[in-house]
Amino acid sequence: MSAITSLTNHQVRLAQRPSGTPGRECWNFTEEAVGEPAAGGVLVKTLALSLDPAMRGWMNEGKSYIPPVGIGEVMRAGGIGKVVASANPKFAVGDLVSAALGVQEYCLLPEDQVKRSGMFKIDLRAGSMTQWMNVLGMPGMTGYFGLMDVGMPKPGETVVVSGAAGAVGQTVGQLAKIKGCRVVGIAGGQAKCDWVVNELGFDACIDYKAGNVKAGLKEHCPKGVDIYFDNVGGDILDDVLARIGRGARIIICGAISQYNNTTPVQGPKNYLSLLVNRARMEGIVVFDYADRYPVAVAEMAGYLKDGRMKSKEDIVEGLETFPEALIKLFTGANFGKLVLKVAEA
Ligand SMILES: NC(=O)c1ccc[n+]([C@@H]2O[C@H](COP(=O)([O-])OP(=O)(O)OC[C@H]3O[C@@H](n4cnc5c(N)ncnc54)[C@H](OP(=O)(O)O)[C@@H]3O)[C@@H](O)[C@H]2O)c1
């Protein structure tokens, strides 16, 4: 038996589809022997996994921008790992890579999956491992392309972003400041609001858990909202729609307030504000921009280096904590990009 095949892989598999918030009953913990990579494949040891609100959608049956995770399959997750065996000339043992690893300790990627998953080496000179899962990673790319390509910010414009202290939100707000905009965040709780204003330089932040979002928008966006980057949907989207200015752009990035609904998704009531204001609302899926990630990463790494961009991650540990850790995203218990540390680098 080789050193590789004597290893055991612990995994988290989808046991059943959830109704509402996914509890432990949705997951099965399994183990199996680790396999050797075939020609063109690699074996990656998971170091850290990205916990994302989108995971909740992947647990549902039905059509989306990506197929659902099947019952019995290892839960889908992006992450960073170390190559421990390679039969692919592009990757060497010891390389740190970003890939779709799944919620498991080892990921055996056959050649076609190495290609399809867009696996790439990360460069720790550009940012730390967890920064590569945050502002330099998928959430950062979402914020970057959503704001820049759909929002098209101009200096002096007012940008509002919900989920402001989260992974996507912190990127959007800081980037909008760098581009010369006035930035108003919306977040849950005083600590998150204080952090985005005092540490990230937002102009203001509205604590939606404390009360009246409408009044906060009126106070902090006296000339109306030019760009709204929506991470949460629901009532907050309606409140912002009521405050948009002429020619406003609304980026539909996510609607986390709706993901655990057991009733139909709440649609916007104030959509006629788009008509009155000659405004538009557009959805974005980050993977459509994959070809341009390197350019955005280089720009963002520059901001990290010169101190104009900060990156806050919330790190939880241990594969066995996955079910409870995931729920933090929906209660707001995470403060920054939620990362599950699986093993030491
Ligand atoms: N379209 C894409 O390609 C794409 C890619 C990545 C992410 N997304 C979306 O972007 C959004 C943010 O994702 P993320 O990874 O950056 O997560 P995150 O903001 O780091 O974490 C989720 C946050 O959502 C907030 N939240 C939870 N329930 C809420 C509710 N009912 N009302 C208002 N806020 C609520 C909580 O913050 P508070 O404490 O402030 O409530 C929580 O911390 C999600 O909707 C996600 O699906 C989309």
> pLDDT tens across 43-63, in order?
999 999 999 999 999 999 988
pLDDT at 34 over 70: yes
> pLDDT tens across 144-175, in order?
999 999 999 999 999 999 999 999 999 999 99
> What domains are defined for the chain?
8-134+312-341 (3.90.180.10), 138-287 (3.40.50.720)
Q: Which residue of 130, 144, 145, 232 sits with most ligand 1 atoms within 8 Å of its CB, as the best mutation to test the pocket?
A: 232
Distance 90 CA to ligand 1 centre (A): 35
Q: Which residue of 149, 256, 329, 340 sits with most ligand 1 atoms within 8 Å of its CB, as the best mutation to test the pocket?
A: 256
Beta-strand relationship, 225-230 and 244-252: parallel
Residue with the smallest CA separation from ligand 1 atom 37 is 332
What pLDDT, on the 0 to 100 scale, is given for residue 289?
97
pLDDT at 1 over 70: no
- The fraction of the chain above a pLDDT of 70, given in percent, is 100
Q: Any bridge partners for residue 205, and if so which? A: 185
Q: Which residue of 160, 168, 228 sits with most ligand 1 atoms within 8 Å of its CB, as the best mutation to test the pocket?
A: 168
Distance 40 CA to ligand 1 centre (A): 36
Distance 342 CA to ligand 1 centre (A): 22
The mean of the pLDDT values for the chain is 97
Q: How far is CA 41 from CA 78, 85, 101, 119, in A?
A: 18, 9, 13, 11
What pLDDT, on the 0 to 100 scale, is given for residue 272?
97
For residue 266, what are its two tokens?
A: 């709440």
pLDDT at 129 over 70: yes
- Name the residue type at position 107: C
Q: Which of 302, 299, 325 is nearest to 314 (CA)?
A: 325
Distance 220 CA to ligand 1 centre (A): 22
Distance 196 CA to ligand 1 centre (A): 15
> pLDDT tens across 173-186, in order?
999 999 999 999 99
What integer is the mean pLDDT of 316-334?
98
Region class of 248: left (phi > 0), else alpha (psi between -120 and 50), else beta: beta
Distance 166 CA to ligand 1 centre (A): 6
What pLDDT, on the 0 to 100 scale, is given for residue 142?
98
Q: How far is CA 71 from CA 22, 113, 259, 337, in A?
A: 14, 20, 19, 27
Q: Which atom of ligand 1 is the closest one to the Cα of 164?
A: 40
pLDDT at 2 over 80: no
> pLDDT tens across 68-126, in order?
999 999 999 999 999 999 999 999 999 999 999 999 999 999 999 998 888 999 999 99
Residues with CB under 6 A from ligand 1: 52-54, 139, 142, 163, 165-169, 187-189, 192, 231-232, 253-257, 284-286, 329-330, 332, 334, 337-338
Residue with the smallest CA separation from ligand 1 atom 43 is 332
Please state the pTM of the whole predicted model. Answer: 0.98
Q: Which residue of 231, 285, 289, 335 sits with most ligand 1 atoms within 8 Å of its CB, as the best mutation to test the pocket?
A: 231
Q: Which atom of ligand 1 is the closest one to the Cα of 186?
A: 40
pLDDT at 39 over 90: yes
Q: Which atom of ligand 1 is the closest one to the Cα of 337?
A: 20
Q: Which residues contact 144 (CB under 8 A, 6 or more apart)?
A: 171, 175, 296, 299, 300
Distance 125 CA to ligand 1 centre (A): 28
